[in-house]
Amino acid sequence: MTSELDKMRAGDWYCSLDPEIDAIRMRVFDAVHRHNMALPSERGDIHPDLRALLPEVHETARIEGQFHLLYGNLKMAEGAFMNVGCVVLDAAQVEIGRNAMLGPQVQIYCPDHHRDPVKRGQLIERALPVTIGKDVWIGGGAILLPGVTIGDGAIVGAGSVVTKDVAPGARVAGNPARDLTQR
């Protein structure tokens, strides 16, 4: 029998209310809390307890405080930066490329809730990965929806809602985000 965690990791529909999933989430929540509550001079780029749960985050990556993360499915390459208040709902893999910069309050959503209201009420969801390329700039308050990829060198305007992939080098803004380089 396949566990709910196995289904989550495979990108299949799963129930997010599961003891095995809850245990992972609680371990990450505790480390994130320590990261957020530490004095910045003691925290460094990433609090040691949080860094221990994120083996695929480069030593030069930085996450500012008031950060939120669910499961630890986060990869950050060299020089990647998340400003204050970023929210990463990483039920699937979130990958942030080299020198990518995320402004304050950027939100990355991997969970995709079921369209059937009965199943949605039973907390049935699936998780789709989000990928951010190298040298990307995401403006403050932008929201990236499940399954999107932001191509290398792209710029996402502040407050934008990204509902589909962004081409490398593109500039997008708005709700939904639209390509400004085509105008």
Please report, for the domain that includes residue 165, its CATH number.
2.160.10.10
| pLDDT > 90? residue 134 | yes
Inter-residue contact 140 to 159 (CB < 8 Å): yes
Across residues 102-110, what is the average pLDDT?
A: 98
CB neighbours of residue 19 within 10 Å: 9
Dihedral angle sign, alpha carbons of residues 22, 23, 25, 29 = positive
Across residues 28-39, what is the average pLDDT?
A: 97
Can you give the residue range of the structural domain that contains 34? Answer: 4-179
Across residues 124-133, what is the average pLDDT?
A: 98
Is 113 catalytic? The answer is yes
- Among residues 33, 58, 68, 113, the one annotated as catalytic is 113
What is the pTM assigned to this prediction?
0.95
Average pLDDT, the chain: 96
Across residues 89-112, what is the average pLDDT?
A: 98
Across residues 137-142, what is the average pLDDT?
A: 98
| pLDDT > 90? residue 1 | no
Q: Which residues contact 163 (CB under 8 A, 6 or more apart)?
A: 145, 148, 176, 177
CB neighbours of residue 74 within 10 Å: 24
DSSP states along 5-30:
HHHHHHT--EES--HHHHHHHHHHHH
User: Predicted confidence band at 183 (pLDDT cuts at 50, 70, 90)?
Assistant: low
User: Predicted confidence band at 181 (pLDDT cuts at 50, 70, 90)?
Assistant: confident
| pLDDT > 90? residue 14 | yes
Inter-residue contact 98 to 77 (CB < 8 Å): yes
Which candidate, 57, 12, 63, places its Cα nearest to that of 34? 63
Q: Tens digit of pLDDT for each residue in 37-88?
A: 999 889 999 999 999 999 999 999 999 999 999 999 999 999 999 999 999 9
Tokens of 17: 């209310």
**SS3 for 144?**
strand
DSSP states along 64-107:
-SS-EESS--EEE-TT-EE-TT-EEE-SS-EEE-TT-EE-TT-E
Helix (H) or strand (E) holding 162: strand 161-162
Q: How many domains does the chain have?
A: 1
| Nearest-angstrom CA–CA distance, 80 and 60 | 7
